[in-house]
Each structure stands twice: as structure tokens, then as C-alpha cells.
Structure 1
């Protein structure tokens, strides 16, 4: 009943009709593992066992599908559980995937250390270069894996253009939409076949729950994901689903504030003597600025920058902030700072996906912008 409504209306209401028994406006936490059946094979409401389905998780999955513009959503115990399910549901030994040459370290590890041993090969390519992606594809390529913006270099891939390229070659397109969130970017509308999220990040938004999601439009793909979702069992528990659904309700207003703050900080960093380069798609100097402006509502809350004085200066900077908390993850209401080379992307060290040693990544929260500016100013010295 909410398909024609705006984003935040759907975020608050899709899959979340008041409880018919009590009128509760928030979906209850169904902390149950099994369900009474009305006779053999007579499932009450379609539920039999909570790995296969749980009403709290159903509410979340319905909402996820709505806000991403898909037909079906699936909630997982983590973003990597969602990614692994995509690989096992849709690929087979001998298949090949093109991945970003600056992919998230956990995604790279999944391909390089897990899927590769299972017989799925990959080639890393700069997704900002369509010709390079085409050159990386071969007769065995069954999937193109897109991150945009990428983690942590904030590169921008043209989803529509890469989807056209992949589909002409008979390959599926997966977009990791974690950095942008469904509020800022709608990959399915741009031609992607699957959208994947770490819902731990912006969707949950409060650094209090780990989760993942897949949203699809095509029924055949959805059926394959659903089978493996249940068969592999990396599903979201009811309390995690409840927390994630709570976070979704404020996603729109939070993202607006994340973007407001990030734009101010990016401009400050771009003019600072200690900063060699700022990676933020909202800056006109960013090479992906025009593409981001075409496919994103705004430019997001993530900033990366390189310290002019090198690796140790970048590490020391991370230790000096007071409002920014030194920590991994991102997308929460609080601002975080980290050194990707030694933290989130350590798994890519020594590989073609190794990140610059002088890089600092900021997850800009929703605190007062003046306090965030003052903190970076003192930390940079």
C-alpha cells in the first residue's frame, strides 16, 4: 500500500503495519525458534522454523525491498554472509568475476581466500574505466561486482554504463550500495541485478547491530537467493532485525545530516596545508564528481584523505582526535576515524588492492559540524 509514497514514508511504514492483535505500531520481536502448525503441513502465516522465516525479519525484508525499489529483500547476519550467499547461489566452479581494484578488504578476502579455493576466479579492475572492465572480462565472466563509492578511496563507478556492458556479455551485476545507502542511490533502477548491503552501516545507523541485506528484482534470482539464504542459514536474528528496522526509520534525516557535515569537512580538508589529497565525490575536483551527481541524490558521509607527511603522520593523526573515535566500521551517528592500511584493509596488504599507507578514512557522523571541524583542526596541528 506504500509503493507510491516517498522514501521516508516507505522507510517508516513498509512491512510495518500495526500489529493486528494489539495495535502495536512497531513490529514485535518474535523471539521464537519454531511455530505451532495447524495440522501436518498447515503453516500458520507461512512460518515453521525461524531460520526459514520469522515475522520480525519479514518486516525488515519487506521494508528493505521497498526502499531499494526491489521486489524481494533478504536479511542476513552480516554483510559478508550476504555476499557469500550471492557467490554460492549464482556462481559455480570455473566462473569468473570482475571486482573493483579498490574493493572493501573483506570483499577482496572473500574472493581471494574463499571463493578462489572453491574454483571461482576474479580479476580486479578500475571500475572508473569502462574499457579496463571490458578488458578484464572473458568468456567465463558471470558477474561484475561494483562498489560505488568504493571503500576506502571513494571512487565512483557508472552503474548504468557498467550494467549495460555486463549484460551484453551475459553477466550479472551486483552493486554494494553500503556507502551510499538506498536514500542516496538506487542501483536496481540503474540496471543492477542485485544490491548488497552491510546494514551494520548507514541502514542500522547506530553502531549497535551487525547485519547484511540483498535486494533483487528478478524472480529467478530471488528464488536462488532464497534457497541459499535458508540452506546456508546466515540469517538475521529477530532482535537484530528489530534494531535494523528501527534504524531504517530515520535513514533519510540521518543521511541528510551526514552529507551536510561531510561537505563542510571536505572543503576544510581540501584547503589544509597538511592534506595532500581529499577523496570526496562532492568536491568538483573529484574525478567521479559528474557521475556521482548523475546517479546519487547527494555525495554521502564518507571522506578519505592523504596526509602530506606520510604514513606515521596519518597514524598519529588518528590517535589525536577527540570527537572522532578511532575505530573500524562506519555509517553510525558518531564520527569515526581510521587508518585503512593497518585496520579495515589490512587483508589487502601486499596485493594489487593495497591502499596508500598515508590514507585516513573518516565516517562523518551527525554531531555539530563546528565540533568536528575543531577536532580535525587540532589533530592536524
Structure 2
């Protein structure tokens, strides 16, 4: 008789469990933001929204007073005072807390774009809620307390719902990239002009050429901020960081010789300057000469600092390519000193790296942007 085989434990669903933990953590973060923001900022919103509403009513000629914090005193006639209290449900703290939670959990990958969208959407929601309070106060000033309560509880509730939804849509509109910069249109057609040789599952395919509409000369807020508001060094740093994460799909449309020259030129700017484009070439290009040129260019710049994960991936890929292709250093070897041992026959050696540039010859590693024309010698 043979002994029964021991029961082996079934492998756990590590990927599923990790994803569930990630979702649970994001939900916990969103709930924490809403709860903490509610108790920490509710009073501030009550007091300031009441004060701002009083100022608007005074500009409209209504006899009001904000002497009581969080309340709107409306003087309707001789001896008749109507008090409107801005409660927690009357303020915009709930809408603002929800927008902050959504930005932190869902849209945080967009960075500064998400922050800009959150600021604009928050301002829009606060202004819309002030309009609601002003209209409620005007209804009470004209027709008395019951009219103010009726307008606030019914029309004001619908107004608050619409303003919250509008603020969220405004935030998403400002956070997501523009239509001409997106890789797919609303119909799902691929519009990034990715080369057919770079088409892979999950990246989208272009079944037919999509005729893009001519780009108009509409004013752009980002262009105005970079040219007129931000300091020059900060603008160059942000532009360099964006260029580092941008894939230039024009490379795949070039012939092989021009593709090799482009890869060498991009690598000469620094591995961190166009790391996303170089990683795309290493991942999707299928021409051995282009990949050979990229591997040699990366291997020749081993002295550069590792600024992100893409540079690390490029170095590891170049090392693997060099070892798999069996590269040797064909340059004349110097005479080895006495007592040194020669490398065994068949050993794979990496190509000699380019010497580091002199101090001050290139930009600092923190800024990979190309120098401005007036800065060139």
C-alpha cells in the first residue's frame, strides 16, 4: 500500500487580495478625509459663508447684519427681524469634502492638473452655495420666513445637488487631458498616431486613419502660466519633467536610419530627459539595428544618475541585450600590468562608457531641459 500524498495548501490569490486591500485602503482614506474635513472645517465654512452672504445682500441693498457668527439677520420692517442660521447642511463643506476625497483617491495620478481642477471646482461649489443662500435670504426678505424655509429646503436642495454634480464635472474636465492630447476619442477610436508596428494588446489599434481636425489657435491657460507667471527655472523644470514622461510616437514612423539617429540624439540629452520614449523604443521596436543602437547608447552613459524607474529599466534592458548578443570590446587592449590575469576566452565585456562631462558643461542632474538658445555659446 502506498501512503497517501500529503495535502498541499492551495495557493492564495495574492493579486486579488492585494487589489482588495488597495481598494479597502482607498475607501478608508476617502472616508477619513470626509469625516475629518467635516469636523475640522464645518465651523469655518458656516461662519465665512454667512459673512460672505451678508456682504452680497448689503451690496444688493438689503438691510442685513452678520453680527452673530454663522447667522444672517434680515431686517424686514419696523421691529421685524428674520434670522437665517447657516447650519452644517446649509454650507458647502460636504460637497468640498467629497471633491477632496475623489481627488485624493481617484484623480491623484494627474498631479498638478488634479490640484488645479480641485481648486477651481471648490471655488465654483462655494460660489454656487452662496447664490443658494442669497436667493433663500431674498425670498425671506420679500415674503417672510415660511417662503425662505420653503425655498431653502426644496429649490435649494436641488440647487445644491446640481452645483455639486457640476463642480465634480468641472473638476474632471480640468483634470483630464484635452481632447487633442488624448489617445482615444469618445467613440473609442485610437487617435495617438501610434505606429502599426508598435500596436500591442491594451494599447489600442488604429483600424483606419483618423483625420484629426486642424488645431486651432485658442488660448491655453498652461501656456499663459508658463510664459507670464512661473519663473523661468521652474517652467523649464516642469517642462523637462513632462517631456521625461511623454512618448514621442513620431519615432516609430521614421525609417530605420533616422530612427537610429533619433535614438542616439535622445540618449545624448540624458537618459532621464526622454526616458519614456526610450523605454517605448526598447519595448515595442522590432528592428535589431535600432535596438542595438539604443543598447550601445545606454551602455555608454552608465555614469549618469538613476533619476527614476524608467532609467533603471533602460539600464537593465541594455545589460541584458549586450549579454545576449555577445558583445566584445574590439578596441586595442592596453598592456596589462605584471601579475594581472587575462579575461578567459569567450567572456562578454560591456563597451567602454563615455567619459563624464566636465563640471559645468551640462545642466545639473535635477534639470534635464535643453538650454535656451540664448544660453548656448
Specify the TM-score bucket, using the shorter chain as the normaliser: under 0.3
- Relative contact order higher in (CA < 8 Å, ≥ 6 apart): 1
The structure with more radius of gyration: 2
The structure richer in helix per residue is: 2
Q: Taking structure 1 as the reference length, what is the TM-score of the superposition?
A: 0.19
> Which is strand-richer, 1 or 2?
1
> Structure 2 length normalisation: TM-score?
0.19
